[in-house]
Structure 1
Amino acid sequence: MSDPINRSGLAARFWEHKPLTKLSPREWEALCDGCGKCCLNKLEDEETGEVALTRVACRLFDDMTCRCAQYEIRHQFVPECIQLTPDTIEQHAYWLPETCAYKLLWDGRPLYDWHPLISGTPETVHEAGISMQSRTVPEFEVHEDDWEDHIIEEPM
């Protein structure tokens, strides 16, 4: 599978010497490991703020590629889709998966060896069993009241 994110031409290990808030748009996008977990519907406990991931995926999620099928125009179809940016990471980091590069770096932790920026290939996230490749159900197949039945443990 080809890498839909162009990681060539970026400075070596840029994430280790540049804060998230100073990354270029290309560097920011390159941090995405392609796991697909940000596209999963989440349940948040209103009392504790605890967030649980479900295997119920957004209607635009392609679980073979672990990418949004309409990324550039996703807000036309899913207006509530949260756009994670250097400016919004502080308010949204709490719901990101534990293995997410954005969350890891926000918390001052290193990337995992399977991350494409470390391994050099987008396949390692799937080979490590981190991605949601072929592990989801589309949201239109599961009533929202039943999402709790599809909670997954993190990290996978």
Structure 2
Amino acid sequence: MPDDKTLKDTALPFWRTKKMSEMTPREWESLCDGCGRCCLNKLTDIDSGETVYTDVGCKLLDTASCRCADYKNRQKKVHDCVRLSWRNIRRLTWLPPTCGYVLVAEGKDLPWWHPLISGRADTVHEAGISVRGKVSANEVDVPDRDLVDYIVKWPVRWPKGSRGKVPPK
């Protein structure tokens, strides 16, 4: 009979065994890899519904940590900040394909660089997934009419080497 340590070592992680609706708040929040891509301003074509990203960050985006500078009060300070939930995650078409919430909702596993896999928050930056060093402006400094000048494609792409099971050497 296996001992407790062996059972623990072979146990599947919570995101593989629980429905998103069953996750604790702590588990839910830990699915965020801290990339900051969802905190970039996006534009949606009214006719086609297509969403494009810009490299303009939300006024609360800390571009060094790639985290919200006031996460607790973000929805009070940013009128269009969307709170992710198990109820809306499958409907939000603008989330990047690298997003931990999207991957888990699609039944996929988390990649090697996700902090829940690597055990380190910095792997999301090392893999080139995060917005660190890629944000050209803050939304406070860019009028809405000028956002079209900041459209970029990289937020909807997987960086080279980021899909492997181990960090590239």
Shift of 1:122: 0.5
Q: Which has the higher contact order (CA 8 A, sep 6+)?
A: 1
The answer as to 2:17 corresponding to 1:17 is yes
The total of aligned residue pairs comes to 145
CA contact (8 A) 2:90 2:102 kept: no
Displacement of 1:133 = 1.0
* Runs of 4+ off more than 2 Å: none
Aligned CA-pair RMSD: 1.5
TM-score normalised over the length of structure 1: 0.86
Identity of aligned residues (%): 47
Runs (5+) with no aligned partner, structure 2 = 1-10, 160-169
Quote the residue 1:100 is aligned against.
99
TM (norm. structure 2) is 0.80
Q: Which runs of 5+ in 1 are unaligned?
A: 1-10
* Residue identity opposite 1:27 in structure 2: E
Structure with larger Rg: 2
Larger deviation: 58-67 or 143-152? 143-152
Equivalent position amino acid for 2:100 in 1 = A
Q: Letter of the aligned partner of 2:107 in structure 1?
A: G
Determine helix, strand or coil for the equivalent of 2:91: helix
Distance in structure 2 (CA, Å) of the matches to 1:96 and 1:73: 21
State whether residues 20 and 28 of structure 2, in contact with CA within 8 Å, keep that contact through their aligned partners in structure 1. yes
What do the CA deviations read for 1:48-84 (whole angstroms, capped 9, x no partner)?
Answer: 2221111111101100010110100112211221111
Q: What SS does the corresponding residue of 1:97 show, helix, strand or coil?
A: coil
Corresponding residue number in structure 2 for 1:73: 73
Letter in 1 for 2:41: N
